[in-house]
């Protein structure tokens, strides 16, 4: 699949070119436009499974939606035999888009809000962020991407890569994605009081070897800054 990323780093736009029978999975809200003739199917929570898990996914998506989090509805767009098509994708916030290739060995865990699109060889599964994730301001949930193929992720601001060898700590609001070779644990601030006073969010602790991609801005931080000013 041919692709280009233009207008980065501030307002990146991804252009994906599909050829005969190729397909791509796009987070529903990230679809900007497309040429005609592409077949579109909407699904919840990833591109694998159905039946009972499908029903389960529907309810978790609904719960998440009611709690103000982002739902992961995906559109699977495919080009008909002998036809070609073009797709435009963009995130909601200002920032960049990066393209990664999964080699089949190492998977990638992506923050729900950063997942944009993936190629057909990539299996996408939503992973519940747990109770802590549900109640955090970021409404964190994670998408596990495995298999082989292309994946596009977006950042609020720029994308910065850090290599972890040992252990590292990252504010969850800044995490875009990380290699699943890393052990990962979300911890709250040391005390509730500290969390309330400093406004610091949850921290992701990584152990092992692998990449962590971070975004240079954090929506939780922006909101934290702007909220008190609304009533001044």
Partner 1 sequence: MQFTKAHDPAHALAICHLEPGDAVLAESGALVTRDAHLEVESTAPRDQGVKGLLKKIGRKMLAEETLVRSLYVAGEAPGEVTFAPRLPGDILIHEMTGGELVIQQSAYLASSREVAIETRWGGFRGLFGQGRVFWIRASGTGQVALNAFGAVEEIDVDGTFIIDTGYIIAFEPSLSFDIKRVGSWFFSVFSDEGPACRFKGKGKLYIQTRNPDEFGTLVGGKLPPRNS
Q: Which of 2, 4, 10, 161 binds partner 1 (CB under 8 A)?
A: 10
Contacting residue, 16, 24, 44, 116, with partner 1 by CB under 8 A: 44
CA distance 77 to 26: 8
* 73 is a contact residue toward partner 1 (CB under 8 A): yes
Binders of partner 1 in range 155-214 (CB under 8 A): none
Nearer Cβ to partner 1, position 6 or 19? Answer: 6
Nearer to partner 1, 22 or 138 (CB): 138
Find the binder of partner 1 among 28, 100, 158, 195 (CB under 8 A). Answer: 28
Rounded to the nearest 10°, the torsion over CA 195, 200, 204, 207 is -90
Give CA 102 to chain center in angstroms. 15
Residue 81 CB burial class (10 angstroms; 0-12, 13-18, ≥19): exposed
Which residue from 62, 67, 162, 197 is in contact with partner 1, where contact means CB under 8 A? 62
DSSP-assigned beta bridge partners for residue 100: 151
x-or-dash string of contact with partner 1, 78-107, rule CB under 8 A? ----------x-x-xxx-------------
Binding to partner 1 (CB under 8 A) within 111-150 occurs at: 137
Nearest to 122 by CA among 95, 88, 99: 99
d(CA 199, CA 227) in angstroms, rounded, equals 12
Burial class (CB in 10 A: 0-12, 13-18, 19+), 190: exposed
- Token look-up 């990449």 returns 211
- Near partner 1 by CB under 8 A: residue from 19, 20, 21, 33: 33
Question: In the complex, which residues of this chain contact partner 1 (CB under 8 A)?
Answer: 6-7, 10-13, 28-29, 31-37, 40-44, 61-62, 65, 68, 71, 73, 75, 88, 90, 92-94, 137, 219, 222-223, 226-227, 230-231
């Amino acid at each position: 699949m041919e692709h280009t990323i233009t207008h980065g780093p501030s307002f990146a736009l991804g252009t994906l070119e599909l050829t005969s029978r190729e397909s791509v999975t796009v987070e529903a809200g990230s679809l900007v436009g497309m040429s005609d003739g592409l077949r579109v199917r909407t699904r919840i929570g990833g591109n694998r499974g159905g039946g009972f898990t499908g029903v389960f996914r529907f309810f978790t998506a609904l719960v998440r939606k009611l709690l103000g989090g982002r739902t992961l509805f995906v559109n699977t767009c495919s080009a008909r035999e002998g036809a070609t098509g073009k797709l435009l994708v963009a995130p909601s916030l200002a920032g960049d888009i990066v393209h990664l290739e999964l080699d089949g060995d190492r998977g990638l865990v992506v923050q729900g809000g950063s997942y944009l699109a993936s190629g057909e060889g990539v299996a996408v599964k939503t992973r519940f962020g747990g109770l802590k994730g549900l109640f955090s301001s970021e409404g964190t949930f994670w998408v596990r991407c495995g298999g082989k193929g292309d994946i596009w992720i977006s950042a609020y601001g720029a994308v910065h890569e850090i290599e972890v060898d040992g252990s590292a700590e990252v504010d969850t609001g800044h995490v875009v994605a990380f290699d699943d070779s890393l052990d990962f644990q979300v911890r709250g601030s040391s005390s509730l009081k500290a969390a309330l006073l400093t406004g610091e969010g949850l921290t992701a602790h990584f152990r092992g070897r692998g990449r962590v991609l971070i975004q240079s801005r954090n929506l939780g931080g922006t909101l934290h800054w702007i909220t008190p000013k609304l009533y001044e």
